[in-house]
Structure 1
Amino acid sequence: MLIIRWIRRHRICKIFLLLLFVILTANVYYFIHHSMCSVESSKKLLEDLCNLYRKREVLGNLCQAICENSLIRFDTCTNYKHGKKVLFVECDACEPPASVKAVLKTKSDLLNRDKLDISKPNDILSTQTFLNLSNRIMRDSVLSEFGIDTSFIEDVLSELWFGRIEDYIKESGLPYPDASWVAVQSIWSLFRQDEYAFMKLHQAYTFVPKIYGTCGPIYITEYTPSGSELETSFLHRPGSSWNQRASIAISILNLIKTFNTGLHQPLEICDVKGDNFGIGDYGRVVLLDADTVFFRDKFEKDILNDQCRKHTDCDFFDCRGLCNTTTGKCIQRRVNNNLQSVCQDVFLGILPHFFAGLLHSPPSDFKLELIEILEKCAYPSNNKADIVRVPATDETFRKLHTLLSKSIR
């Protein structure tokens, strides 16, 4: 009898393990399938976009270049992340007369893209009312999402697009009410993508990639090599230029200072890694992925979890939180900071690849002092075993900036 029970338990255990293996395999396949891109799916994306354009369901300053003149041509695609589709294109319309490499992005499902929930106009009078109301909705949305007051801007719709919305309406070939509807919905489908909205509102800043234009919910930006591509060129090559890497690190530090004090609110970067920084013209550092950057008010109000049982429940990627286990609620603020995350994940390199980051292999006469400062920056509490929940200090910032400047020869 005992043997029979043991055999039954053994079979049940085997069946359970088999089911677990099948579930894990299916999840891995699903993740790979939905995160990898293909030439076919990328071309299908452009084909679907152009079908919408030909039916005049989307508008934008680059629709004609993509769909009619072949001035923007597919080159390669990269892995999709968090639903965002990213293609590299050759663009003759971005910086004419030159042909440049550019990046085409969208986080929107073309057929189920975000649409502004508002009544469609049917005559000239209702169209003007529609445009005025759309402007007001957009102005309120910019204020609530980004804390930016646009009351001094008469035409917020055009500010978030390229050129005057009235010009697109006239040139669309559609009746005035229909053209206004398509234009507003095209702008709204862009604005509902956090990265586009953030970059468009901050085009005056050098840390933001230049946006060349849009078509429906798709936008095209300048191409800048990401951290992973820089790694293969010189960042991790033996004998790579310390001066170049130290200069990039100084630029990143200056960028952190801008995020802390140079905008209308402090900006929290919650996904810190080399891939999310690029190098633009004249060596300027740009922020490539703005999907996980938030102004502090929005971060503390909307992004942080409310309920918690442990500290990690209050984390959002690299933005660390604290759980008040007595009340079961997250403390509504970030407890580390941008400098700490950058030192740990970009400059130093996280375990087990300790000191294999951007600032690897420093000059020997600066090495010991630099390691000491970087460790203090990345691990302010001197504990490498736990998740860091302490901010790096302003004094550490000054010491690191000064030492890097001295090390450049």
Structure 2
Amino acid sequence: MWSPRRVCVPWRLGLRTSKRSTLLVALLWFGTWVFFSGLVHRTMFSDLCTDEKSKRILQGVCEEYIRGVLTGDLCEELCVSRQVEYQRCLYYENGKKVIEAKWRGVPIVLKSKLENFSSYQALGPLDYQEGAGGGPSPWDIVLYATLEIRSSLGLEVGGDGGAWPWGREWTPGGRQRAYSRAELASLWSLLQQEEYTFFRVLENLSRHVAKVLGSCGHFYAVEYLVTGRAWSWNLFSPEALLRLPREGLGISAWSSTSRSGKDTVIRIALSFLDMVRHFESDFSHPLHLCDIKPENFGIRRDLTVVAIDVDMAFFEPKMQNILEQACTSDEDCNFFDCISKCDMKENKCGSKRVNSNLQVICDKIFRHWFSPALPGTRKELPLEVELQHAVHDCAETTGGDDKARSQAVFHRLQTLLSQLLQDEDAQAQTDRHSQTETDA
């Protein structure tokens, strides 16, 4: 069956082919686009994801803020000064709400795992009489937050550089006053959201994780990024990248606005490799991504790849617990994109993953970009052919538990992409020089 992700490379679009093959490709592309765009439209913009309902949910948040039920550093601007302006609903499924907004004119994304503040489990120490004996100290909350993070991530707090998930005022040496019921309840609702906890713990340790910008009750704001689109030839829209803010709210600026399509793809691919290396080596435990698809990654203006949906991201200790399940065949040991092998004697899945983040990215991302050219297009350059073979080998070869083999595959891809980027830069300089001479 014809598969669009295996035959097209973005920068090859528009190359000459025969009229018949061009028409055939166009018809196949149009049919595929209609199918996938319709599928995405139905999924991302279902009847439940409406502006009316989204506005009503945020209005409910503001009403609870006014009553003193919840609080947060974004509440005043969301509910009083209205500097956080609603734009549209992006996603709504099983209670998870994702909303686009503008904060002081800059796009942001508001997220919550559950729709209502009351849906989150209450924090036990809040069952006290305010004013009679006082509430829990900041150190009590540190203890409860630590236990929650250990449970949700399988990672020791502070084990990766001492990052604390609740902001500077909650760290040792910060303020020591008693916290209000609304503050503690709001913090606890956020810590029950694995994605929020993940971002908070890692945002100062990783450039490949979305930045948390603030919160109001159970909703938290993250930076707005260009997300991937599985139904598009070009997974990340260059036009959308140009519309991202150049500065403000801690969002980095684009270093160049005149890159070619090929140059952009190579730089994004190199950033994917940097993310793979970083998640594998730079924390106390490797970080496994078990749901790798374009929609779960975003791109900043500087072409940094960012993990934006980490509901299925697990550090090694929790990954081992997930994989160790009863089985009768290897198929029983497939946990989305993370797989292990079944021990037929013990009827138990192995605790070690046998594939890797790199292998899945090669299969689901890189093959889309670095596949053989369509018949009738220009002759392949030697480096491009070698890269195609390297991506194929990476995607088809298991062995995530073989460190030496994985590193060899990684360095081969990195070297080829870097060489292609150098060639592209050299060609761009030659073209600019020729244009200058022509203008003169």
Shorter-chain TM-score: what band? 0.7 to 0.9
Distance 1:312 1:82, change over 3 A: farther
2:417 to 397, 404, 409: 404
Matches within 5 A, 1:370-381: 370-380=387-397
Name the aligned partner's letter for residue 243 of structure 1. D
2:106 to 96, 100, 106: 100
Distance 1:34 1:334, change over 3 A: farther
Structure 2 residue aligned with 1:121: 128
| Alignment check: 8 A CA contact 2:195 2:311 kept | yes
Q: Kindly provide the CA deviation profile for residues 87-127 of structure 1, in whole angstroms up to 9, marking residues without a partner as x.
A: 110111xxxxxx20111101023131232233522255743
Structure 2 residue aligned with 1:219: 220
1:137 aligns with 2:109: no
Distance 1:310 1:31, change over 3 A: farther
| Alignment check: 8 A CA contact 2:236 2:299 kept | no
Q: Deviation at 1:50?
A: 1.1
Structure 1 residue aligned with 2:263: 243
Query: For residues 125 and 338 of structure 2, what CA distance do their matches in structure 1 show?
Result: 36
| Alignment check: 8 A CA contact 2:126 2:135 kept | no
1:289 to 295, 309, 324: 309
- Percent identity (aligned): 28
Matches within 5 A, 1:37-76: 37-76=49-88
| Alignment check: 8 A CA contact 2:387 2:413 kept | yes
Q: Report the 3-state secondary structure (helix = DSSP H, G, I; strand = E; otherwise coil) of the residue aligned with 2:183.
A: helix
| Alignment check: 8 A CA contact 1:139 1:150 kept | no
Distance 1:234 1:34, change over 3 A: closer
Matches within 5 A, 1:191-340: 191-204=191-204, 205-228=206-229, 231=235, 233-234=237-238, 241-301=261-321, 303-304=322-323, 306-340=325-359
Q: Deviation at 1:51?
A: 1.7
Aligned length: 346
Give me the TM-score of the superposition, normalised by structure 2: 0.70
Stretches of structure 1 that go unaligned for 5 or more consecutive residues are: 1-29, 93-98, 171-175, 382-387
| Alignment check: 8 A CA contact 1:270 1:317 kept | yes
Name the aligned partner's letter for residue 282 of structure 1. D
Name the aligned partner's letter for residue 370 of structure 1. L
Q: Which has the higher contact order (CA 8 A, sep 6+)?
A: 2
Q: Kindly provide the CA deviation profile for residues 150-169 of structure 1, in whole angstroms up to 9, marking residues without a partner as x.
A: 49999x9xx43345369xxx
Q: Deviation at 1:403?
A: 0.3
Q: Kindly provide the CA deviation profile for residues 23-42 of structure 1, in whole angstroms up to 9, marking residues without a partner as x.
A: xxxxxxx9899785111121
Q: Report the 3-state secondary structure (helix = DSSP H, G, I; strand = E; otherwise coil) of the residue aligned with 2:302.
A: helix
Query: For residues 372 and 83 of structure 2, what CA distance do their matches in structure 1 show?
Result: 44
Q: Deviation at 1:241?
A: 1.3
RMSD across aligned positions (CA): 3.4
Distance 1:315 1:85, change over 3 A: same
| Alignment check: 8 A CA contact 1:35 1:81 kept | no
Query: For residues 70 and 202 of structure 2, what CA distance do their matches in structure 1 show?
Result: 24
Q: Deviation at 1:128?
A: 4.7
Structure 2 residue aligned with 1:16: none
| Alignment check: 8 A CA contact 1:314 1:330 kept | yes
Q: Deviation at 1:349?
A: 3.8
